[in-house]
Amino acid sequence: MVRIVGYDERHFGGVKAVWEAAFPDDPPWNRAENAIPAKMALQPGLFFVALNDDQVVGTVMAGYDGHRGWLYAIAVLPDHRRRGIASGLVRHAEAQLRELGCHKINLQVRASNADALAVYQGLGYEIEDRISMGKRV
């Protein structure tokens, strides 16, 4: 049975494995050894893992700036997909954001990731007419 818990440092290796499987082409700044310490320094209570027994099989990070919430690093091991784990992680993060007073949640999906788009649309997320911009500083 899969359960969702807050991230703890003992989960690091499992999270790294999930992310490497789900995001093989991610740039260095998104890798576990960089992203996790940054997250744990800011809103560490908004980082969750899905555990099957003691194995990390999924992750979600959330953030809230007082205006909008964001979901990041929603990932599930390939051999655990299509079991509702991603949906459970998203719902869990949404509930935590609502408790903080959040009324709007955003997430970004690579346009080529049709499977993820279908999951998020099934959870009520809509494609918005926006252009995502970024700048490395």
pLDDT score recorded for residue 111: 87
Q: What is the CATH number of the domain that holds 66?
A: 3.40.630.30
Q: What pLDDT sits at residue 13?
A: 98
Residue 100 lies in a domain: yes
Q: What is the pLDDT of residue 56?
A: 98
* 72 belongs to a structural domain: yes
Enter the pTM of the model: 0.93
In a domain, 127, yes or no: no
Residues of the chain falling short of pLDDT 50: none
**Alpha helices (H) along 5-112:** 12-22, 32-41, 85-99
Q: Count structural domains, the chain.
A: 1
Tell me if 17 is assigned to some domain.
Answer: yes
Per-residue confidence (pLDDT) for residue 110, from 0 to 100: 87
Domain that holds residue 37: 2-122
- Specify if 134 maps to a domain: no
Whether 10 is in a domain gets the answer yes
Q: Can you tell me the distance from the alpha carbon of 47 to that of 73, in angstroms, rounded to the nearest whole number?
A: 9
Q: Is residue 128 domain-resident?
A: no
Identify whether the C-beta of residue 7 lies closer than 8 Å to the C-beta of residue 50: no
